[in-house]
Every structure is written in C-alpha cells, then in structure tokens.
A = this chain, B = another copy of it.
Amino acid sequence: MLPTQCLCTNLRRAARGVSRHYDGALDGFGINVAQYSLLCNLKRLDQPSISSLAEAMGLDRSTLGRNVRVLEGAGLLKMTEGADQRNRLVCLTEAGDQCLKAALPAWEAAQQRLMDRLGETKRAQLLQLLDELAGTD
C-alpha cells in the first residue's frame, strides 16, 4: 500500500510517534514531553508572560494558558503579577526546577536513542528542516 504524500499527515504522524517515545521515557516523572518542553522554555526565558511564552513555543495563547494551569495545579510553576495590571508572568517553582533536573537523564536517553537511530547527518538535517518549517505561515 502506497504511503501518503501529504507532508502534513506524515509530519503529524511522526510527531505522535516521537511524542510517545519521549512520553514513555518521562513516565514516572509526572510530566509528559509537552510539559517538559514548557518547563524548559520557562527556564530558558526569564519569567515570560503568557503571550511571549506562547509566541516562543509557537502555541496559541489560549492553549498555553490552559497548559500552564495544569502545571500550576501540579505546583511546578506559578503566576506572579507583572508591571502591568493585565500582565501576568509565569515562573518556574523550586519543585518545577527539581522536576526538570530529575527528568533530564530520561530525556537525554530518549533523545540519544533517537539520534542513534538517525545518525548525526540525518539528525542535523532534521533539525534544519524543522526549523525551516517552524515559521510556516
């Protein structure tokens, strides 16, 4: 049976499969790969607003707001008042930082298994391609 030629379909399928791979690795740390990514970005950016974090992650603001709420409920991040009355900042809690530290080896292992499968050349190719696709529309 011929595979689909649709770039989008193939991209979505790959994203699902790879997400399952990472989710499996992160199992036991109380977070999935989407949450791991959110927490990482929180560590990388310094107390971003909902909007800027969403922008940085290529997510809709409302989506990010809801994802943030889940992690806030888990105590891994918290919201603080910004300079502006309407502006709220997202920041990592100590627990969130610990969670990231604890999960790091598992993430590294998952990443490494994938890189071993691909090899260095394809890994670089893939990252390059994904970067180009990131700004789609």
Contacts and interface: CB of A to CB of B under 8 A. Distances in A.
Interface residues of A, number: 55
A78 interface: no
13 contacts: A1-B56, A4-B41, A5-B127, A7-B127, A8-B15, A9-B37, A11-B18, A12-B18, A12-B19, A13-B58, A13-B134, A14-B15, A122-B129
Contacts of A117: 132, 136
A70 interface: no
B7 A34 contact: no
B11 A57 contact: no
Interface of A: 1-22, 24, 33-34, 37, 40-41, 44-45, 56-59, 107, 110-111, 114-115, 117-118, 122-123, 125-127, 129-137
